[in-house]
Structure 1
């Protein structure tokens, strides 16, 4: 099986990487002039983190929010530190030191409002962090989008074999109809994904998530490709749905 050989070679060639997913992608169920072979994609935890950090850095630079100080950065003339302005002498009048009860109440009220404001900011920041974490782990994030992965487009075979295979599938679709041909094709891809998972999980310590990627039938394909344990671990919102949903 060429998919198994290619995937095993990538994993064996990068022993320092913790691979978490493999996908077959690039084949649409929508009718077209030809049916091509799927692409093989793999990703590791380290590659995902590196790509996300790189993307975040690029976005900061584009927005002009680079956190590094420029080489010609200078302190404001009124900044604290050596060489700054000398502090001015301040003389307090006796009357200015009188604090009334009203002043106390206003100060306490201000402190309470500040504390409430800080609490609200913390709550909002926590909620935002939770939402970002959920988005980063969802199936529609870059974590599970094979076209965004580090190893994203590995050909299963080269020409002329790939062209001959595509021509044969296209002729079959013209003869028997597009929908039944693609349906059988996807059943074959699901079987390949399951076989890949079983074979590679025996060779590695990781519980590799192996699936056929297609946006139109994403949830259905995940349910067909993954084990019940993987569904409940990585996509709990799908594990409670019946397979026909």
Structure 2
């Protein structure tokens, strides 16, 4: 069984274009910045899967990052904020306060009897420490975000599996199974590497076509690419324009110029 690569490319292109256009036009308040084809592994396996389509917007990325930071604080038990309308339960039992004893310093015969005032100051110190700890946590998170470089290709900004629209099927059964079986059968006869290389070439052609066609429908500078962590740099060079490489991945541009 052979593979009609031209027919496969056209099938993926038409479906991906339709889904991408529907998402973009359906969310006019979102600034979309990237579209990716992903989910196809280059490592040899029992079958070759059809790709998934993913899109993301600036607003969705920011919202997801805020949510992730909040969830991390809650999991670590360091989010002490309470709702404005929070009240103790009416049946809550408060612990009996411990009565402080007067302490007499025999040497100077001085009696300390302001234990209640000391407790009050200790409570204020504890509240101050809690606020200070929370500030330190937030500062640490911000510092960590800067260190990870939130704009780099290996950040969540460019990881399609983390995006808001992350797994749109481009082909349903039985068609998906037919294409998958055909490519898997071809790989068993002609070898995995040449088959998967040809398949990725087809996906790159689809990504380039998506960028060109969507640019005619929107003013957004959409970055359309095939995502695979092991071959990220090569795929970006094949999918992005020179202007996009220079704008979004300047370090990669320097590597290209140095070759």
TM over 0.5: yes
State how 1:9-88 maps to structure 2 within 5 Å. Answer: 9-69=22-82, 71=86, 77-78=120-121
Measured against aligned partners, the alpha-carbon deviations of 1:118-164 in whole angstroms (never above 9, x if no partner) come to xxxxxxx8xx7496176111100000000000100000011111011
Is the Cα–Cα contact under 8 Å of residues 24 and 32 in structure 2 kept in the other structure?
Answer: yes
Taking structure 1 as reference, are residues 52 and 130 closer, same or farther at Cα in structure 2, changes over 3 Å only? closer
When the two chains are superposed, the root-mean-square deviation of aligned CA atoms in Å is: 2.4
- Report the alpha carbon displacement of residue 242 of structure 1 after superposing the two structures with TM: 2.7
How many equivalent pairs are there? Answer: 198
What does residue 189 of structure 1 align with?
A: 203
Segments of structure 2 that go 5 or more residues without pairing to the other structure are 1-13, 89-118, 125-138
Is the Cα–Cα contact under 8 Å of residues 148 and 155 in structure 2 kept in the other structure?
Answer: no
Runs of 4+ aligned structure 1 residues displaced above 6 Å come to none
What does residue 169 of structure 2 align with?
A: 155
SS in 2 for 1:35: coil
TM-score (ref. length: structure 2): 0.71
TM-score (ref. length: structure 1): 0.75
In structure 2, C-alpha distance between the alignment counterparts of 1:35 and 1:152, rounded to whole Å: 19
SS in 1 for 2:46: coil
Out of 229, 232, 236, the residue aligned to residue 243 of structure 2 is: 229
What does residue 137 of structure 1 align with?
A: 151
Segments of structure 1 that go 5 or more residues without pairing to the other structure are 81-124
